[in-house]
Amino acid sequence: MIVAAIFLIVIGVVALFLSARPRLAFFLDEGWKFRNKTEQSRTYEAVSFTKFLVLGVAAVVGGLVLLAMNATFSRQDAARAAFDRCQSEFLPQFTRTIRWDGGELGNEDEVRSLANRLGVKVVFATGEVIVLDPKRHGDDKEVLRFLAANHDQSWAGPFRCNDYDK
């Protein structure tokens, strides 16, 4: 994406240079056909000027837009990768590891060990396990929340990863 943006900006600068030199632009564009025959008209110069000016401005603006969007795309790609990691690593491993003993967690040490291995933090509350990802951007670090069987889970639905696009 950055390469395309730089390419557009370079093309735009060249086009703006040619718009400032309409005779050169005309010669490069079509003047070679008329070499030593006649001088180009003012109309051809005006057309060359307008064409290269519009192309130059459009290319520079397009390149700058691509550069600005690159940061957004990078953030979205990182969020998508983090969500995929949550779906493929965190959710299955915590689902297999967590064992409830009534309304309380029965294997706190195993869950804490798994969290350390995966590079996340866990918080144990009454009847729930909250998984926090310190690498997650923003203030909300919660990735997963597991509830004991005695909780009313109708509001939560099945266990799933929280959205990273916050």
- HSE at residue 53, side-chain half, CA atoms within 13 A, is 10
- Judge contact between 114 and 94, C-beta under 8 A: yes
Per-position DSSP letters for 64-91, written without gaps between them: HHHHHHHHHHHHHHHHHHHHHHIIIIIH
pLDDT on residue 150? 57
- Judge contact between 130 and 142, C-beta under 8 A: yes
DSSP letter assigned to residue 142 = E
pLDDT on residue 157? 47
Indicate the domain borders of the chain. Answer: 2-74, 79-147
pLDDT on residue 13? 95
| CA distance linking residue 104 with residue 109, whole number of Å | 13
pLDDT on residue 46? 85
* pLDDT tens digit at each of 166 positions of the chain: 889 999 999 999 999 998 888 778 777 777 667 666 656 678 878 888 898 999 999 999 999 999 988 888 888 887 788 888 888 888 889 888 888 777 778 888 999 999 999 999 999 887 788 888 888 777 778 888 888 765 555 444 457 777 765 4
Backbone angles phi, psi at 58, to 5 degrees: -65, -40
